[in-house]
């Protein structure tokens, strides 16, 4: 039997392998899971003209290079936003979609609380670089969550790229034209994953809106998790079980339609 094929997109901070290594191990050998780094970080600075379409094109190249006509797509945070854009543009390539706290989901009639939060994200641009990451992380969680102190010692080399990359994501979220009608026409199953300690005005509202636009969704809440200790790193066995169930159902639907 052919292994289940999936591509996993990370967020704007951790590279793909450390982000998804534990989950890939938990999924086991019967799953061909590819942790794909973002095109955003292919060089020392964001590529000129980078947008979510750059990530969409990179995903197409990855799948075509592997001769995968269809596959399951998993995206977390910024990678989740790229996965949404891919689903809108190339739904025929996906067997299913799993969105782990996607950082953005297009232009909506957002609540006043969500709109205020994005004003705070915009204000991060005024902070010195050494304060930027701390401010960014604090906005992503509930107000009463205590984040761990920064790691001591020299940061890994890839960390130097992250502030510019996060700024690029915030900019493309402001300007990217997402066709919501295309999401409403996406018939494959969609798994939505939310951490109970993440900022409800951010990821909670995004998940709620997505659950109303995709026709076939299931939402799973990990009560003790937040955006910076996400299920794919902290509870990989539980998430792997949910993904396997999600993929099995999606493949059953796909085979029935065929």
pLDDT reported for residue 30: 93
Alpha-helical runs (H) found in 92-191: 112-123, 129-139, 162-175, 180-184
Task: Please give the mean pLDDT across all residues of the chain.
Answer: 94
Q: Is pLDDT at 2 greater than 90 in this prediction?
A: no
DSSP 8-state code for residue 141: B
Based on the structure, what is the number of domains in the chain? Answer: 1
pLDDT, one tens digit per residue, over 185-197 is 999 999 999 999 9
pTM: 0.95
Looking from the CA of 224 toward its CB, the CA atoms found within 13 Å total: 4
Identify the residue whose tokens are 């992250």: 162
> What are the tens digits of pLDDT across the range 35-71?
999 999 999 999 999 999 999 999 999 999 999 999 9
Q: Is the pLDDT of residue 1 over 90?
A: no
Domain containing residue 232: CATH number? 3.40.50.1820
Structural domain of residue 148, as residue ranges? 4-257
Full 3-state SS string of 14-53: CCHHHHHHHHHHHHCCCEEEEECCCHHHCCCCCCCCCCHH
Q: What is the pLDDT of residues 225-242, one digit of tens each?
A: 999 999 999 999 999 999
């Amino acid at each position: 039997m052919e292994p289940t094929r999936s591509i996993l997109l990370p967020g704007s901070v951790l590279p793909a392998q450390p982000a998804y290594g534990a989950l890939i191990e938990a999924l086991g050998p019967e799953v061909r899971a590819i942790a794909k780094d973002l095109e955003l970080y292919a060089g020392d600075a964001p590529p000129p003209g980078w947008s979510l379409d750059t990530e969409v094109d990179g995903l197409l190249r990855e799948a075509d290079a592997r001769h995968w006509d269809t596959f399951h797509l998993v995206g977390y945070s910024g990678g989740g936003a790229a996965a949404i854009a891919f689903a809108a543009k190339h739904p025929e390539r996906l067997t299913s979609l799993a969105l782990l706290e996607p950082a953005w989901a297009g232009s909506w009639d957002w609540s006043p609380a969500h709109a205020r939060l994005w004003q705070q994200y915009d204000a991060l641009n005024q902070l010195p670089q050494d304060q930027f990451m701390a401010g960014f992380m604090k906005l992503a969680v509930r107000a009463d969550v205590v984040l761990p102190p920064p790691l001591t010692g020299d940061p890994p080399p890839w960390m130097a790229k992250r502030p510019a990359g996060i700024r690029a994501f915030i900019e493309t979220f402001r300007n990217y034209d997402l066709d919501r009608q295309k999401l409403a026409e996406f018939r494959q199953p969609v798994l939505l994953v939310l951490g109970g300690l993440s900022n409800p005005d951010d990821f909670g509202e995004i998940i709620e809106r997505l659950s109303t636009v995709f026709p076939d969704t299931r939402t799973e809440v990990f009560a003790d998790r937040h955006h910076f200790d996400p299920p794919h790193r902290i509870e990989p066995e539980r998430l792997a079980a949910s993904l396997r169930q999600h993929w099995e159902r999606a493949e059953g639907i796909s085979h029935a339609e065929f």
